[in-house]
């Protein structure tokens, strides 16, 4: 799926770079994507280490809102922190932060099969 994105969308953001979008804009993008059945792709390589790297790997493998929501509150072996903190639309949540920093990009749904 990553290869289907245009070149700019595939460019990995610089780690530690300032947010590309303010939180309100990120929330608008997320709500719009949910309404229109879009999926998403994490384009940031795993910046984490140790136990957080395991959580990030699991979350970044998801491409649907339902799959991401299923991870909310789920704990992984040896960790006390859930895989996803907050709801998908929580202002200070992990997913909103990822969209703000362009670690997550949205993909248009495929056209209906006729």
CB 93 within 8 Å of CB 85: yes
- pLDDT attached to residue 64: 92
> What's the confidence (pLDDT) of residue 4?
54
Say what the pLDDT of residue 56 is: 79
Q: What is the DSSP string of 5-63?
A: S-HHHHSPPPTTPPPSS-HHHHHHHHHHHHHTT-EEEE-S-----THHHHHHHHHHT--
Q: What is the pLDDT of residues 28-59, one digit of tens each?
A: 999 999 999 999 998 877 677 777 777 778 88
8 Å CB contact between 61 and 87: no
Strand partners, 106: 40
Counting as low any pLDDT under 50, the low residues of the chain are 7-13
pLDDT value of residue 16: 58
Residue 6: partners with Cβ closer than 8 Å, 6 or more residues away: none
pLDDT at 10: 46
């Amino acid at each position: 799926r990553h290869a289907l994105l245009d070149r700019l969308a595939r460019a990995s953001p610089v780690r530690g770079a300032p947010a590309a979008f303010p939180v309100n804009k990120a929330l608008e993008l997320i709500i719009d994507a949910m309404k229109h059945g879009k999926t998403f792709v994490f384009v940031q390589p795993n910046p984490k280490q140790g136990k957080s790297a395991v959580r990030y790997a699991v979350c970044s493998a998801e491409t649907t809102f339902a799959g991401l929501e299923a991870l909310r509150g789920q704990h992984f072996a040896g960790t006390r922190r859930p895989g996803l903190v907050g709801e998908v639309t929580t202002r200070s949540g992990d997913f909103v932060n990822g969209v703000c920093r362009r670690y997550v990009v949205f993909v248009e749904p495929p056209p209906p099969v006729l």
